[in-house]
Structure 1
Amino acid sequence: MANLLIVDDEKSICEMLDIAFRKAGHRAETVTSVAGALQKLQGQIYDIVIADIKMPQSSGLELLRHIRDTQPDSQVILITAFGTTGTAHQAGQLGAFAYLEKSHELVDDLKFTVERALETSRIKAENLSLKRELKKQQGLESIVGQSPSIKALFELILSVAPTNSTVLILGESGTGKELVAHAIHANSRRDDGMFVSINCSAFQETLLESELFGYVKGAFTGAAANKKGLFEYASGGTLFLDEIGETSLPMQVKLLRALQERKIRPVGGNEEMDVDVRLIAASNRDLQQMVREKQFREDLYYRISVIPLEIPPLRKRASDIPLLAFHFLEKFNRQMGKTIHGISNEAVQMLENYAWPGNVRELENAMERAVALEKGDEIAAESLPKRVAGGVEVLQVQNLASDFPKEGIDLEKHIQEIERQMLETALARANGVRTRAADLLHMSYRSFRHYAKKYGL
């Protein structure tokens, strides 16, 4: 049922439409002048206003202007017995939903148009609700925690978000650097623009350059058409460069120039183009140490670290672990259609005592597994991963002969558990810095990434 206002200087038209729309289940009020309509609009919001264009003293177009200024969510349908192309064009420019000529089919035409207008309003309202929900999910509400360090992080986000300054987010892998970047964007003046993110470590140098700056047709084999880069896509919004510490020195030169000049040149192109982006960078590496070791350009470091922001590892905000665990419980309950009501005290204690080298991401993975496996009303300790619930007994190689079980062992699972524990230990020893952990394990960073992904670290 919709709330309608019908405005026409012909009383017979008002009465006919009033009867028709009331029979259709709508609420309808009628007035015979623009002045009467303005009076009604002062105390009432209408879903749809149906107004004649030609009326004494003032026209339906003037009424349309007023409604657009005062009740922008109301749909306006204009009707007339003297339609012209010019008037129809003017009505469209002013924001009328429809422009109908009076005919013997006017009632049917209006009923159909009113239903279309109501459907359009419903879709707009749903889209607005979805946008608000998305903004809520990507804003501060997406960062769970009440510890002093997280509260301080919230305050810093709200302070830096309204500025256009470049932000450098530092923290171990899995701490939620992209969530913080999203929150900065959602609370900025650029929140209507795009948030574009890229993980710099996922691309080789040449591919990264093409992704960031785009390319022109014929720039290289396979470049069959021009392609926009992420700088261009993010213009007017925010560009998030994750793992910026993994970029090569030549790539850093190109990034520095783009940030300084606010201009980019596509690969293979001759012309530069202006870009208007707010840059947020992130790294789990010690960029200052990399600068000292000549692995990261000092000038780029100072350019991206105008406002440095550090996310504490989960082990340093243990009071947030139960909050996060219950947050993930609700999330995976919804996703899996389950109704698990809580987490046992024993399980909570185990979650709090574990070091979480993979930080929030590892906790999320652990809770997803627990929700999937749990058959009771609350998460029991047995549903948690073994490493969280106290770890499994891993046979020491030197004692293998004496400790080898009579029933034998699952060699593949045993080796996987050793690998996982070694990765976790190396991460903890390296304070979450993955490149250091890779060095401790005498493996390449690429291999380390593969194993970390395999075990959800």
Structure 2
Amino acid sequence: MANSYRCLVVDDETDIRELVVLTLERMGIQAESASNVTDAKHMLDSFSYDLCLTDMRLPDGLGLELVQHINAQFPGLPVAVITAYGSAENAVSALKAGAFDYITKPISLKQLRPLVESALKLSSQKEVSGINTVDLIGTSPAMSHVRNMIAKLARSQAPVYISGESGSGKELAARLIHQNSSRRDQAFIAVNCGAIPETLMESEFFGYKKGAFTGAIQDTQGLFQAANGGTLFLDEVADLPLAMQVKLLRAIQEKKVRVVGGTAEEAVDVRIISATHKNLNAMMEKGEFRQDLYYRLNVIPLKMPSLRERPEDVPELTERLLGKLCQGQGISMPELAPDAKIHIQQRPFHGNVRELENMLERALALCDGITITAEDLSVDELPATVSDQLAVAWHIPAREAPASEPVVTPTVLTSHTSAAAATPLAAGSTMLPMDVSLSDYLEDIEKRTILQALEKTNHNKTAAAKLLGISFRTLRYRLSKLGLSKEQEQDMDDIEPEE
């Protein structure tokens, strides 16, 4: 550390003040101290500091008051609070008030040093304006708010809880917070909590010692150790079982972990960012998510807007995503036909940005390389004739089919039933067999409809597509998606018609 850094230590306990000042001086930092809020404010007005460390309880007030004073009068100056052991509520209050971080008594030098180093890195950036959010596309008010929040969150160590629908960019926001923070040179570890088996969760998060259990042939670090000094992103945190929630809460509060098979706790310096698309408030009411963990994770909330909430961003998003996809494939970017632009603007995008990107990638594979049409974009949607068959299956009135269209009786295929042995659904029935999922049932209806159309046209794909009321390219795509392409190849000798 360079001697140009100056830190103010505020604590009414002489022993603690001297310990912290001595530690800072050994780190090459000029340290000065005050014993109360009044003296601290006077020193802040008289000198320029790069960091302030303050106790929460002082003779003439609270450290929280000093945090608020610094945020109002000296924006950009990191301030960390010293809290009593186990006073998680005070720590959360300080972080919400704008404190950079906190440390508990008795003060551990292993925790103090990384806190100071992170704060001084942040302090050295205070003259730099703006943040790097090049991957955050959109200029709508909703996205402007997200950018402002990311800029604020990047200057803190407080836990962040990101909410939003699937595909709305929660992990991207977490990465941007990390990349613009003082931890940007350290690891960003993302983990999907729902993808880890419950029996392996503790060892995955905290690591394990050799011999701790069958198969533990060597000491192995966990996610907390891998993210030490950096950021740990807990995606789908709602999927954590209750037993693991208790252990995670302790690790966050005490900033220490104990490896499986170990006897001692080790300090870890990890910033926690969590996210889920589920409603944690509803889960708390049902007893499925711990309230104390929720309030430790949800210190500062960030909501990612859905694509439906920012329709003005869709054109720019489309152009940027399309350009990225074409660059990745090494191809020229095709133009969007007018009907394609209308189709994109009118689509609800329940899958948000992820759905838009997947739709564009699919359209690139189906278009002629020059222009993307609405047909290329909507190829994943069921053709009208297939939709009619679904309507029949659910006993919903469908449009009247022309006499030339094949009459198809909906059938049910299960993993235990061959296509030849499939049986028709009883007339007027709205119930599915217990061992058939809705998605499998609908897929089987579509597959049966296409197969019967092919049989009626003597396996001529061009004629079958016309009979089904869809384009040749759409039929070809559906055959591939349904796994019917290979089994039809030997029977189909027609060629793709000229476009």
TM over 0.5: yes
**Secondary structure at the residue paired with 1:322?**
helix
Deviation at 1:208, TM superposition (A): 2.0
Partner of 1:363: 356
1:161 to 147, 154, 163: 154
1:202 has 2:195 as partner = yes
Q: What letter is aligned with 1:323? A: E
Q: In structure 1, the residue corresponding to 2:245 is in which secondary structure?
A: helix
Match among 298, 301, 321 for residue 294 of structure 2 = 301
- The within-5 A match list for 1:140-159 is 140-159=133-152
Alpha-carbon contact 1:369-1:385 (below 8 Å) kept:
no
Q: CA RMSD in A?
A: 3.0
What is the distance in 2 between the residues matched to 1:326 and 1:237?
33
Distance 1:400 1:315 in 2: 29
CA apart distance, 1:316: 1.3
Q: Distance between the aligned counterparts of 2:193 and 2:384, measured in 1?
A: 34
- Aligned counterpart, 1:406: 406
TM-superposed deviation, 1:343: 1.3
Deviates more, 1:138-147 or 1:205-214: 138-147
In the other structure, the counterpart of 1:287 is 280
Instruction: Note the residue ranges of structure 2 that are not aligned, 5 or more in a row.
Output: 1-130, 414-437, 445-480, 483-499
Matched residue, 1:226: 219
Query: How many Å separate the matches in 2 of 1:390 and 1:353?
Result: 18
Alignment of 1:229-308 (within 5 A): 229-308=222-301
* 1:75-94 map, 5 Å: none
Q: State the partner residue of 2:209.
A: 216
Unpaired runs of 5+ in structure 1?
A: 1-137, 421-453
Normalised by the length of structure 1, the TM-score is: 0.58
CA contact (8 A) 1:212 1:229 kept: yes
Question: Judging changes above 3 Å, is the alpha-carbon distance between structure 1 residues 410 and 372 closer, same or farther for their aligned structure 2 residues?
Answer: farther
Deviation at 1:408, TM superposition (A): 5.4
- Cα deviation 1:240-265 (Å, max 9, x = unaligned): 00000110111000000000010001
Which one-letter code corresponds to 1:231 in the other structure? Answer: F
Question: Take 1:188 and 1:392, find their aligned partners in 2: how far apart are those partners?
Answer: 54
Q: 1:29-44 alignment to 2 at 5 Å?
A: none
Cα 1:166/1:390, change in 2 over 3 Å: farther
> Per the alignment, in what secondary structure is the counterpart of residue 140 of structure 1?
coil
| Aligned residue number for residue 381 of structure 1 | 374
With over 3 angstroms needed to count, the CA separation of the structure-2 counterparts of 1:295 and 1:377, relative to structure 1, is same
Cα offset, 1:410, TM superposition: 10
Measured in 2, the distance between the counterparts of 1:174 and 1:317 equals 14
Does structure 2 conserve the Cα–Cα contact (< 8 Å) formed by 1:213 and 1:264? yes
- Is the 1:340–1:379 contact (alpha carbons within 8 Å) kept by the matching residues of 2? no
Give the alignment of 1:26-175 within 5 angstroms. Answer: 139-175=132-168
Residue 457 of structure 2 corresponds to which residue in structure 1? Answer: none
State the Cα deviation string for residues 150-182 of structure 1 (Å, max 9, x = none): 111001100111110000000111111100000
Verify the 8 A CA contact 1:336 1:372 in the aligned structure 2. no
TM-score (norm 2): 0.53
Q: 1:315 aligns with which of 308, 316, 321?
A: 308
SS of 2:134's equivalent? helix
Name the residue aligned to 1:346: 339
**Equivalences, count:** 285
Alignment-mate amino acid for residue 289 of structure 1: A
Give the Å deviation of 1:341. Answer: 3.6
One-letter identity of the residue aligned with 2:222: G
Find the residue that maps to 1:226 and give its secondary structure: coil
| Residues 367/248 of structure 1: CA separation in 2 closer, same or farther (3 Å cut) | same
* Cα distance in 1 for residues equivalent to 2:364 and 2:173: 26
Structure 2 counterpart of 1:406, one-letter code? P
Contact 2:334 2:369 in 1 (8 A): no
Q: Per the alignment, do residues 409 and 355 of structure 1 end up closer, same or farther by CA in structure 2, a change over 3 Å counting?
A: farther
- The answer as to whether partners of 1:252 and 1:300 remain within 8 angstroms in 2 is yes
User: Any idea what SS the aligned residue of 2:186 has?
Assistant: coil
Amino acid at match of 1:334: Q
Contact 1:350 1:388 in 2 (8 A): no
1:329 corresponds to 2:326: no
Q: In the alignment, is the contact (CA less than 8 A) between 1:236 and 1:276 conserved in 2?
A: yes
Return the alpha-carbon distance in structure 2 between the equivalents of residues 356 and 219 of structure 1. Answer: 47
Q: Please give the secondary structure, in 2, of the residue aligned with 1:312.
A: coil
Larger RCO, structure (CA 8 Å, separation 6 or more) = 1
Q: Secondary structure at the match of 1:267?
A: coil
- Structure number with higher helix proportion: 1
